[in-house]
Structure 1
């Protein structure tokens, strides 16, 4: 989930460059992990930034599914 603007197309006269106002910086990204079991959304977990192994293992440990 992010709030990036997308300029998939634009129009200008032939030979002229298409210009658009758009920030070169990306905003922060929010990732969500959740379980879907028996038609219910369970254990929603959000994290700002990238979702990596450490984040996923932390989510699993909060579920109590580790050995």
Structure 2
């Protein structure tokens, strides 16, 4: 019984720790007229997800954007 609890808790800890490691912080710039204008930080699992989140954030902030670049 102790082994089952130990194994289950180990699996749970591994699962929770790997999920938190997948997210990264991205710095995303809004470009207007081909030049960087405003910047926001987003947390995402990929660069494309970060760009989607940044577009939504700029829209919520009423910032007009021609393109977004996240690093």
Whether TM exceeds 0.5 here: the answer is no
Flag the structure with higher helix content: 2
Flag the structure with higher strand content: 2
In our comparison, the structure showing a higher alpha carbon Rg is 1
**TM bucket, shorter chain:** 0.3 to 0.5
Scaled by the length of structure 2, the TM-score of the pair is 0.34
Q: Which has the higher contact order (CA 8 A, sep 6+)?
A: 2
